[in-house]
Structure 1
Amino acid sequence: MNKFKRFEINTAGRDFAVGDVHGHFTKLQAALDAIGFNPVVDRLFSVGDLVDRGPESADVNTWLAKPWFFAVQGNHEAMVYEAHRVNSSNGFGVHLANGGVWFYGLSSLDQDAYANLLADLPVAIEVETPEGLVGIVHADCPFPVWSMLRDALTGLMPGLLNVDAVCQWSRSRITDENCEGISDVRAVIVGHTPVRQPAILGNVYHIDTGAWMGGHFTLIDLATLECYPPVNPKLNWDWEERA
């Protein structure tokens, strides 16, 4: 598993990122159609949590085979791998309670195939754009400088603990409303914590707008950082305050 992956600039089309999918690929395709996404030249980057909770989790293999679709490993992908490969009864219970029912109805061969596919996803992605570098992780960047995360995940800073866990599980930045941001990168795109519209804290964009729980998908253009649908400055992003 290569924990860090870099993508060079897309000179032919546009690059977008999308929030947590959670097995709602038909709804995701409708969101792509609405912005005129062109799979011949455009690319889509996912903040992870492709599976669990939704009705189409088993379609994740079809989507990851698309040449224009790329994803980081979210905590739900990690749960699939850990529960299956580590064979932990505790991990199994946690995964099952968090939408993993679809996985345990599969044959053992299919479970192996899905677990291996999801385990192979990188923890972080960086994408070069005409306006500068954009980073993508599932939950948060554990360092104040993006290059430190790159070094940690590529083996240049060995011995650090919990780097993957923070990238996949942390909610501290959004809970604390920390606006300090991440240096050495134009923006960092994350999901994990549902918001009713994108929460922009410094240069960290939280874009899981709860499509899987009755909300909608947010797509963000990595070059312009424009969100679709647009951010409404008159609305709070806190999901609990959703009307």
Structure 2
Amino acid sequence: MNGPTYPIVCRHPANDIGRDFVVGDLHGCMDALRYLLHEIGFDGARDRLFSVGDLVDRGTDSLAAIDLIDKPWFYPVLGNHEDSLISVATGAMRRQSWYGIGGAWAEAVTDDQLAALAARLAKLPLVRVVGEGERRFNVLHAEFFGNDAELDAGDFHEDVRSQILWGRGLALGHADPQQQLGLSPTYCGHTPTRAVKQIGSQIYIDTCAFAPEGRLTIVQAGTEERWSVKERWAASEGARELALP
């Protein structure tokens, strides 16, 4: 019997009662997230937080980051680090290979425990589409070339899926932004930048939260509003004592 399937592309209506935010690659930096949610006055009953993926690896609390997927206000997409965890759990990748890119936090996690985590993460879509028309924005992990209709179709060959999770051609100047004509503003991470920047239709918001001089960044979708904080600074300010919504 085949296992359950989950949507590759998830659609969400525009938020008419609150605000929509998008957070960069979290990488287990939960103190920074708690601090920023408090800073922006996030209201879990009205606001929504979309995530460009990479909840796990490299930071200090990957398990707590995975638990965010159960929050009714949190809407992540799959990142390449979640995809790597799933690959290890299914035998498609060696643990040591994953540890080399940030998965060493899971050395004490048993195979059964890892399989349970993978089952939760496998439900995440590759793409989230929010709103319609001029209010529309997209969320994905790395990059996509095509227009909104092609993104909506979700008919991604393996090379396109790989680009969505691992691609850096646009960010590194190796791809033509003209390939994104007809693509609504698309929030992404994967390629660290010192500050939020837009290339073509994509808005890069991964400011390397796990690095000593990096920051976690949250942006308010459709605006120029953005907030960033260093994980160590947030921890020193007592962020761990701040409750999540």
Q: Cα–Cα, structure 1 residues 226 and 132, in superposed 2: closer, same or farther, change >3 Å?
A: same
Aligned with 1:163 (options 155, 160, 163): 160
Partner of 1:46: 51
Aligned partner of 1:241 in structure 2 is: none
Deviations along 1:162-214, one digit per CA (max 9) or x if unpaired, are 12110000000010075437333430001001111012113310000111113
Distance (whole Å) between structure 1 residues aligned to residue 134 and residue 148 of structure 2: 16
Which residue identity does 1:163 align to in structure 2?
Answer: V
Q: Is this contact kept in 2: 1:15–1:222, CA < 8 A?
A: yes
Structure 1 residues 227, 131: CA separation in 2 closer, same or farther (over 3 Å shift)?
farther
Deviates more, 1:25-34 or 1:124-133: 124-133
The residue type equivalent to 1:226 in the other structure is E
- Shift of the alpha carbon at 1:129? 6.5
Match of 1:17 in 2: 22
- TM-score of the superposition, structure 1-length normalised? 0.84
Q: Is the 8 A contact 1:7 1:126 kept in 2?
A: yes
Matched residues in 2 for 1:82 and 1:20: separation?
A: 19
Once residues 132 and 183 of structure 1 are traced to their aligned partners in structure 2, the CA distance between those partners, rounded to angstroms, is: 17
Residue 146 (structure 1) aligns with: 148
Corresponding residue for 1:30? 35
- Give me the whole-angstrom Cα distance separating, in 2, the residues matched to 1:146 and 1:130: 10
TM-score normalised to the size of structure 2?
A: 0.83
Equivalent residue, structure 1, for 2:114: 111
- Conserved? CA contact 2:148–2:184, under 8 Å: no
Alignment match, 2:222? 223
Q: Is the 8 A contact 1:181 1:203 kept in 2?
A: no
SS of aligned partner of 1:149: helix
Q: CA RMSD in A?
A: 1.9
8 Å contact kept, 1:49–1:74:
yes
8 A contact 1:131–1:223 mirrored in 2: no
Match of 2:102 among 96, 99, 102: 99
Contact 1:24 1:54 in 2 (8 A): yes
CA distance in 1, matches of 2:116, 2:150: 32
Deviates further, 127-136 or 65-74: 127-136
Are the equivalent residues in 1 in contact too, given 2:55–2:66 (CA < 8 A)? no
Secondary structure in 2 matching 1:189: strand
The corresponding residue for 1:191 is 189
Shift of 1:109: 3.0
Unaligned regions of 5+ residues in structure 1, if any?
Answer: 230-243
SS at match of 1:126: strand
Q: Secondary structure at the match of 1:45?
A: strand
> Equivalent pairs: percent with the same residue?
32
Aligned counterparts of 1:130 and 1:144: Cα–Cα separation in 2: 17
Cα distance change on mapping 1:148 and 1:129 into 2, 3 Å: closer
Which shows bigger deviation, 122-131 or 111-120?
122-131
- In 2, the alpha carbon distance for the partners of 1:135 and 1:200 equals 14
Match of 1:82 in 2: 87
